[in-house]
Amino acid sequence: MLKDNIKYIAVEGPIGVGKSSLVKMMADDFKAKSVFENPDENPFITNFYQDPLRYAFQTQLFFLLSRYRQQTELKQQDLFDQRIICDYLFAKDMIFANINLTDDEFALYSQVYKLLDQRLPKPDVIIFMQASPEVLMKRIRMRKKEYEHNIDPSYVFRLSQAYSQYFFQYKEAPVLVVNTSGLDFVKHVKDYEMLKKELFYLLKSGLEKHYVTIDPR
């Protein structure tokens, strides 16, 4: 059982790692409200994958404001009434911005981000899901989202590296780091139960980070 003071859980990881599937399972298990971002609503996303240099700033700014609006609604309405499990961390915007924007764009973007970030609640714990770039690409292809057809494998590799570096340094909440390359929470109940066990251990131990790696089947 999760303690009552664990009200806000964020599940994070690069594109295709399986965040949404895990959030759905956890929300049902813990009687929590699930919150999902919807990248399909970003009108610039298709153009971004076709021409990243031209459309990166518009794409990133739309995501930033969209996530801020959603997080503000959580803060005002739900966060103290019931447990929330969200399939993103607001700070993820900085991960993407850092690898996609030019220096001048990033400087401007950072000013806006810092103003918004200080107004938002922080998660009580984060589950950071990792997978090899090869596994991520395979899962992305399986999703069959049209705008993702043009994703460059090198971009997925850089994104995966940026995520790992960011959460290695993250100190604002406990982080459970799970290598999911050999896991399937939907098909294998044991995988999900293992993750829950490790999450409870992290929260009980008082550690800043706990790393879980399972050998691929």
Q: Is 1 among the domain residues? A: no
The first and second tokens of residue 160, run together, are 């995966």
Cβ density class 114-147: b for 16+ within 10 Å, e for less: eebbeeeeebbbbbbbbbbbebbbeebeeeebee
- Whether 217 shows a pLDDT value over 70: the answer reads no
Could you give the CA distance from residue 94 to residue 90 in angstroms, rounded to a whole number?
Answer: 9
For residue range 180-212, what is the model confidence (pLDDT) as tens digits? 998 888 889 999 999 999 999 999 998 999 998
Total-model pTM: 0.93
Q: Is 3 among the domain residues? A: no
Q: Is 200 among the domain residues? A: yes
For residue range 61-88, what is the model confidence (pLDDT) as tens digits? 999 999 999 999 887 765 557 899 999 9
Distance of CA 138 to the CA centre of its chain: 18
Range of lowest pLDDT (12-26, 103-117, 134-148) = 134-148
Count of domains forming the chain = 1
| 191 flagged as catalytic | no
Could you give the CA distance from residue 28 to residue 70 in angstroms, rounded to a whole number?
Answer: 21
Q: Is 30 among the domain residues? A: yes
Q: Is 160 among the domain residues? A: yes
Q: Residue 40 sits in which domain range? A: 8-213
Q: Is 2 among the domain residues? A: no
For residue range 17-33, what is the model confidence (pLDDT) as tens digits? 999 999 999 999 999 99
From 135, 177, 125, select the one nearest 15 (Cα to Cα): 135
| Partners of 125 in beta bridges | 9
Instruction: Give the active site residue among 28, 87, 104, 152.
Output: 87
Domain of residue 172, CATH code: 3.40.50.300
